[in-house]
Amino acid sequence: MPRYQPTVIAISAATAFSLLGDQMLYAVLPAYYAKLGLTGIQVGILLSANRWIRLLTNHVAHVLSPHAPPRATLAAAFALGAATTFAYAATESFVALVAARLVWGLCWSFIRHVGVLEVAAHAPADGAGRAMGYYNGISRIGSVTGLLGGAALVDAFGYVAAVAMLATASLASVALTLFDRTLVDVPPRPHAELPTARLDRAAITDLALGFTLGLVGPGVVTSTLGVVLEPYTAQGPLLPGITAATITGALLAIRLAIESLAAPTLGAISDQWGIRRTTTRFFSLGALALIAACVQPGSLALLTLCLLGFYATATVLNSGVAASVSRRGSAPYARYVTANDIGSAAGPLGAWIAVDLLGVASVGLALGAAFYLAAAVYCRYRLDSSATPATAPPTPEFDSDRPTNE
């Protein structure tokens, strides 16, 4: 096991526990909102409020996190995040729930920002993509558990008891952080050596790639899966109990499983190929997968294969790009994740406006393909791979032959 791996695993596992309550809401609220006295519009607000607030809190995390020890910052964010999950069980007030979701958005900004930069700080330059793959893969286990396990617990024990259980379990993130003695301050990045023009290009790239990855994957594709799958069950369920909603949930669970199990291996591709080649090829492959999903001859099996192929390319891209950006420091990563949050928040709205206006279920997939193709062209001709850490030789701080936990 590489020397950096125990720290990466500890941070990733803590992040997974912190996600239990947040992810549970995405599975439970759409089914139970009436019993909680909420309206459909209120559900939409609750499920998006944490994303919109991050447009501000991502930069708060960037400004404040260098002034506090990473262990203390993460432990505080995990503890406050667990408190927001307890709040979901303690009140049915819409205003209080919105406040809890906004606080969770603040917590997640610090959890993601400090966690990812710590992963980048421990990983060697030639293993950044693999390390980020471990982080994404392990933390996604929390998403899967929250989505599937949260719904099962609510069905078995009721909403309040189930949410309290998840909130209690999420406190494990605090314990994992406090017992991890390998966390170190994130070292500064030597930006001054790069020409101003290159910094400008890097900033545009951070924004463009972050927005595209947020808009397409968690945005237009995921939000329109149900309507894309609806024609396959319009004449009745394929099997008893198998509906479009069931298939959608299964595909999303498989997507998360891909990210959990294969992310380290897929993320290592960027370590071997470099960031420009990786992004150019996998944006192109992702676009082809979405185009194939649009034009395939009405086969559910082919559609499923196309979508799973797309999610595999997205896993490579998310790991590789995040690794490359985070190794350049706090400010580039804050810029990147803010653009990603804007895309993931705006994607569902734009996709559903297009579906409503055009009346074509697969228009979201077509939009996603168009954005991925544009990103592939941009990366091929505008991305300066020589300035990205994925292809640069390791600096002394990240020399894989030197212990990182001194």
What is residue 394's predicted lDDT score, i.e. its pLDDT?
39
d(CA 50, CA 98) in angstroms, rounded, equals 9
Which residues, in sequence order, are CB contacts of 210 under 8 Å at separation 6+? 321, 325, 335, 336, 337, 338, 339, 340, 343
What is residue 12's predicted lDDT score, i.e. its pLDDT?
92
What is residue 28's predicted lDDT score, i.e. its pLDDT?
79
d(CA 212, CA 406) in angstroms, rounded, equals 39
194-393 shares the fold of 5-179: yes
Can you tell me which residue has the tokens 């808009």? 215
Residue ranges of domains in the chain? 5-179, 194-393
Low-confidence ranges of the chain (pLDDT < 70): 1-4, 30-31, 182-200, 233-250, 258-260, 263, 384-406
Superfamily for domain range 194-393: MFS general substrate transporter like domains (1.20.1250.20)
What is residue 361's predicted lDDT score, i.e. its pLDDT?
82
What is residue 399's predicted lDDT score, i.e. its pLDDT?
33
Contact between 193 and 69 under an 8 Å Cβ cutoff? The reply is no
What is residue 191's predicted lDDT score, i.e. its pLDDT?
38
Give per-residue burial for 305-337: e unless 16+ CB within 10 Å, then b.
Answer: ebbebbbbbbbbbbbbbbbbbbbbbbebbbbbb
pLDDT digit string, tens, across residues 234-264: 555 555 555 555 566 667 777 777 666 776 7
What is residue 248's predicted lDDT score, i.e. its pLDDT?
62
What is residue 388's predicted lDDT score, i.e. its pLDDT?
43
Task: Confirm or reject CATH 1.20.1250.20 for domain 5-179, answering yes or no.
Answer: yes
